[in-house]
């Protein structure tokens, strides 16, 4: 190859390489990430980068609106059928609780004492016709400076009567068991709701005095005592045991009849409390249990009865939980936008084929929910309700209950 051609070829190759390098440099600049926070003067851009919003309904088909205020009461909610009457009951109770009175009557009838309360509180009581005869019984009754609400309850207990507030606000005194004649038609349903709420909240409440019970149980197994009694009345032995251990010990006289006639013999040094109790109680057919931290001396019959009831409750709880799990596993497919809990409850009950009951507080919660109309387990709906508002959803006795953690008020 001639030198001139070689020179031209080399020059062309150099030009091609230069063009490639130039193109690569510009492409790198375009591909490099741009600094989102740079302003005109090279400082930080005060505008934050846009945040990607998760499309919650697209993924689950369920959306919960305004989690922060879901527990609030919606003032625009239509009133629950029970609400006006519950408010009336609360108003009457608050008035009578807010007035302290003393009442002392000797050889007085119920109408005479009710008249005294009326004079002090400014409220009028009406006696049901069925209670008139019993109300003429004369008794001695005396209390000092107590809320009129409690005075009235204590007084009516002496006659086995109840105070009933009618839907119109009248205060009737009736024989126990005759309250329905002056109550609204839905009162049986309301009482059932209150009872169910009490049961459910009771199950969820921590065991009363659980720490004290645990300490007493530990002391029974580890604390040691010296006792030496022969044919001594049971109350005296128990008193000595209580003094030696500093435990709260009592005899359940409802079950242990005439405990003074029980004369145990016990002798030993360095015995555990459990060993001492065996010597004291076993020969006489007695036993012990712990109730709210108190060591209770009772009969084997009561201990067995309590154990049997505990076993029945555990079995009932297991069966109920299984029935609830089966119901919540069933598919539902309703949909809707901006639904209150009361609306969701109605739709759940319809799809599951079970009756529902919603208490007044849960009825008016401000929480709102949206659902795509697609099949899903009922459990997903229940979980969404629990996330959006304080509500207990439970299946009991063939009814799906929606209850407030604060009870029926």
pLDDT at 357: 96
Terminal-to-terminal C-alpha distance of the chain: 107
| Structure-block tokens of residue 100 | 């302290």
pLDDT at 392: 96
pLDDT in tens, 172-214: 999 999 999 999 999 999 999 999 999 999 888 777 678 889 9
pLDDT in tens, 107-144: 999 999 999 999 999 999 999 999 999 999 999 998 88
pLDDT average, residue stretch 351-379: 96
Q: Pick the range with the lowest mean pLDDT from 6-15, 258-267, 382-391.
A: 6-15
Query: Which of the listed CATH numbers 3.30.1490.20, 3.55.50.30, 3.40.50.620, 3.30.830.10 matches domain 83-185?
Result: 3.55.50.30
φ, ψ (nearest 5 deg) of residue 263: -125, 85
pLDDT in tens, 12-27: 555 555 554 554 444 4
Rounded (10°) angle between helices 273-281 and 210-222: 80
Give the angle subtended at the CA of 117 by the CAs of 157 and 173, to the nearest 5°: 45
Round the average pLDDT of the chain to a whole number and report it: 87
60-78+187-206+317-409 shares its CATH topology with 83-185? yes
Examine the pLDDT at 402 and tell me if it is beyond 90: yes
- Rounded to whole angstroms, how far apart are CA atoms 389 and 342? 12
pLDDT at 10: 53
pLDDT in tens, 328-339: 999 999 999 999
* Strand order across the 356-358 sheet: 356-358, 399-403, 392-396
Q: Which residue has the higher pLDDT, 30 or 232?
A: 232
- Cβ distance 369 to 382 under 8 Å? no
On whether the 60-78+187-206+317-409 domain is CATH 3.55.50.10, my answer is yes
* pLDDT-based confidence at residue 350 (cuts at 50, 70, 90): very high
Structural domain spans, the chain: 60-78+187-206+317-409, 83-185, 210-291
- Cβ distance 278 to 264 under 8 Å? no
* pLDDT-based confidence at residue 63 (cuts at 50, 70, 90): very high
pTM of the model: 0.68
Q: Which helix (H) or strand (E) is 254 found in, with range? A: none
pLDDT at 15: 56
Examine the pLDDT at 68 and tell me if it is beyond 80: yes
Examine the pLDDT at 4 and tell me if it is beyond 70: no
Examine the pLDDT at 52 and tell me if it is beyond 50: no
């Amino acid at each position: 190859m001639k030198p001139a051609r070689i020179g031209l070829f080399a020059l062309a190759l150099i030009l091609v390489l230069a063009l490639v390098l130039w193109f690569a440099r510009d492409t790198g600049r375009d591909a490099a990430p741009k600094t989102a926070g740079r302003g005109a003067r090279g400082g930080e851009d005060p505008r934050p980068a846009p945040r990607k919003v998760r499309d919650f309904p697209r993924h689950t088909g369920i959306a919960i609106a305004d989690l922060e205020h879901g527990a609030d009461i919606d003032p625009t909610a239509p009133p629950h059928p029970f609400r006006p009457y519950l408010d009336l009951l609360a108003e009457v109770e608050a008035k009578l609780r807010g007035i302290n009175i003393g009442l002392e009557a000797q050889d007085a009838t119920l109408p005479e004492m009710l008249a005294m309360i009326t004079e002090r509180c400014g409220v009028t009581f009406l006696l049901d016709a069925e209670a008139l005869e019993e109300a003429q019984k004369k008794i001695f009754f005396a209390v000092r400076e107590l809320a009129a609400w409690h005075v009235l309850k204590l007084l009516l207990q002496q006659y086995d009567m109840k105070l009933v507030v009618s839907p119109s606000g009248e205060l009737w005194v009736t024989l126990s068991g005759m309250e329905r004649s002056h109550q609204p038609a839905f009162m049986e349903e309301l009482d059932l709701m209150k009872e169910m709420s009490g049961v459910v909240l009771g199950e969820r409440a921590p065991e009363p005095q659980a720490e004290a019970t645990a300490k007493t149980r530990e002391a029974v197994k580890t604390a040691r005592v010296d006792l030496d009694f022969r044919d001594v009345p049971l109350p005296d032995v128990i008193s000595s045991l209580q003094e030696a251990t500093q435990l709260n010990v009592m005899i359940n006289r409802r079950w242990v009849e005439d405990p003074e006639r029980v004369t145990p013999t016990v002798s030993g040094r360095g015995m555990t409390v459990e060993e001492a109790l065996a010597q004291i109680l076993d020969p006489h057919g007695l036993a012990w249990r712990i109730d709210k931290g108190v060591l209770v001396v009772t009969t084997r019959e009561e201990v067995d009865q309590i154990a049997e009831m505990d076993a029945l409750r555990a079995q009932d709880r297991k069966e109920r939980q299984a029935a609830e799990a089966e119901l919540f596993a069933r598919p539902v497919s309703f949909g809707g936008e901006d639904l209150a809990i009361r609306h969701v409850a109605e739709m759940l009950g319809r799809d599951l084929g079970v009756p529902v009951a919603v208490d007044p507080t849960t009825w008016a919660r401000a929480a709102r929910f949206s659902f795509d109309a697609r099949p899903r387990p009922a459990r997903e709906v229940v979980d969404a309700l629990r996330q959006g508002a304080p509500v207990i959803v439970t299946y009991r006795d063939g009814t799906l209950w929606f209850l407030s953690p604060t009870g029926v008020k």
